[in-house]
Structure 1
Amino acid sequence: MDSNPSILSHVSIGTNDFERAIAFYDQVLPTLGCKRLMEHPGAIAYGKQYPEFWVQTPIDRRPASVGNGTHIGFIAPSKDAVYAFHQAALAAGGVDEGAPGGRTEYGEPYYGCFVRDPDGHKVEAAYWDEQLDRNLT
Structure 2
Amino acid sequence: MINHIGGFAVKDLERSIQFYVAVLTPLGYKLHHRSENSANFSDSLSTDPFGDFAIYEGAPFPFHLAFQAKDNQAVDAFNEVAMSFGAKGYGRPGYHKHFHENYYAAFIYDPDGYEIEAVFHNKQAH
Using structure 1 for the length normalisation, give the TM-score.
0.80
State the one-letter code of the partner of 2:76. Y
Gaps of 5+ in 1: 59-63, 133-137
Q: How does 1:74-89 map to 2 (within 5 A)?
A: 74-89=67-82
Give the Cα separation in 1 of the matches to 2:6 and 2:65.
Answer: 8
Percent of aligned pairs with the same amino acid: 30
Alignment of 1:12-27 (within 5 A): 12-27=7-22
Task: Check 1:16–1:125 CA distance in 2 against 1; reply closer, same or farther (3 A cut).
Answer: same
Aligned length: 120
Counterpart position of 1:135: none
Which residue in the other structure is 2:35 paired with? 40
For structure 2, the 5+ residue unaligned runs are: none
Contact 2:32/2:41 (CA < 8 Å) preserved in 1?
A: yes
Taking the aligned partners of 1:97 and 1:54, their CA distance within structure 2 comes to 25
Q: Which amino acid aligns with 1:79?
A: N
- DSSP 3-state at the match of 1:81: helix
Amino acid in structure 2 at the alignment position of 1:129: N
> Quick check: 1:29 aligned with 2:24?
yes
Structure 1 runs (4+) deviating above 3 angstroms are none
Within 2, Cα distance between the matches of 1:9 and 1:29? 15
Superposed, 1:1-137 pairs within 5 Å as: 8-48=3-43, 49=46, 50=48, 51-58=51-58, 64-67=59-62, 70-131=63-124
Instruction: Tell me the distance in 2 between the aligned counterparts of 1:81 and 1:11.
Output: 25
Q: Which has the larger radius of gyration?
A: 1
Maintained 8 Å contact 1:24/1:93: no
